[in-house]
Amino acid sequence: MRLRIAAGNWKMNTSIQEGIELAKSINQFATSINIENKRIILGVPFTHIVPIVQTVDYRKISIAAQNCAKWEKGAYTGEISAEMIRSTGAHYVIIGHSERRQYFNENNNDLKIKVELCLKNNLRPIFCIGEKLKEREQEKHFNVVSTQLKESLFHLDEENFSHIVLAYEPVWAIGTGKNATPEQAQEMHAFIRKLISENYSISIAQNTTILYGGSCNAQNAKDLFSQPDIDGGLIGGASLKANDFIEIIKVL
């Protein structure tokens, strides 16, 4: 049975003190429920990782960094390496988020390197894929997602690929208030799973967790998560409100 995940991406929000209080609220709920075969992940700013790792119950909640450097170490002022992230107690790293691709010009080869560095340091990548509005309107969305997977991930062997969590995020639905319908999201998730089966095996495909990440919130999560190939969500704004995020966790 695939692992189902509610992953919050806090982006560049909250002070350390605010983040700790938010994590405490989510942790209080998490410790009160049985989440067998489910996982809560908090993708927090680099500054927050250590204090929040120390705040939450690691048996219920994992911590993710929101990015890592494409170099192992060296004279790269301001960068944070995968090895550094692993030393904080984090277990996941969000790689290839559309905002990193758009604002920081990260390409598929950059992301391939980052994935490899994460895996080398026993970190699980949450790898983001998805198309822009123009690409969907031109009916290029399947080709865009296929290229992203092939150029960044499909060189991995089965063992390494099995540590990848995927997050499909239609870029046109992130922070816009728009949302893919459950049917549109399911269509893409099924397509992704088929690509995995063709490049690896049906078994690997059936065991790969694929999250939805486009304006998922407490109101639409149930309909999205009920689709057969959607295994949870990568949640943006709604993860900054404890009550909203908890409602999403409840429908995993």
**Mean pLDDT of the region 152-178:** 90
CATH code at position 242: 3.20.20.70
Q: Tokens for 204, please give them.
A: 């690997």
Separation between Cα atoms, residue 217 and residue 28, nearest integer Å: 20
Q: Is 97 a catalytic residue?
A: yes
Place of tokens 């409602």: 247
Q: Is 187 a catalytic residue?
A: no
- DSSP H or E stretch at residue 41: strand 38-43
From first CA to last CA, the distance across the chain in angstroms is: 13
DSSP character string of 185-221: HHHHHHHHHHHHHHHS-HHHHHH--EEE-SS--TTTH
Q: Tokens for 246, please give them.
A: 């908890």
Q: What pLDDT sits at residue 177? A: 63
Among the listed residues 97, 106, 131, 141, the single catalytic one is 97
pLDDT at 147 over 80: yes
Question: How is the chain split among helix, strand and coil, in percent rounded to 5?
Answer: 45, 15, 40
Can you give the pTM of this predicted structure? 0.96
Structurally, the chain folds into a number of domains equal to: 1
Tell me the per-residue pLDDT of 38-90, one tens digit each, with 9 for 90 and over.
Answer: 999 999 999 999 999 999 999 999 999 999 999 999 999 999 999 999 999 99
Confidence of residue 93 (pLDDT cuts 50, 70, 90): very high
Quick check: 246 and 218 in contact, CB under 8 A? Answer: no
pLDDT at 94 over 80: yes
Tell me the per-residue pLDDT of 217-238, one tens digit each, with 9 for 90 and over.
Answer: 999 999 999 999 999 999 999 9
pLDDT at 105 over 80: yes
Question: What's the domain range around 180?
Answer: 4-250
Q: Tokens for 11, please give them.
A: 């982006």
Among the listed residues 135, 141, 169, 189, the single catalytic one is 169
Task: State the average pLDDT for the chain.
Answer: 96
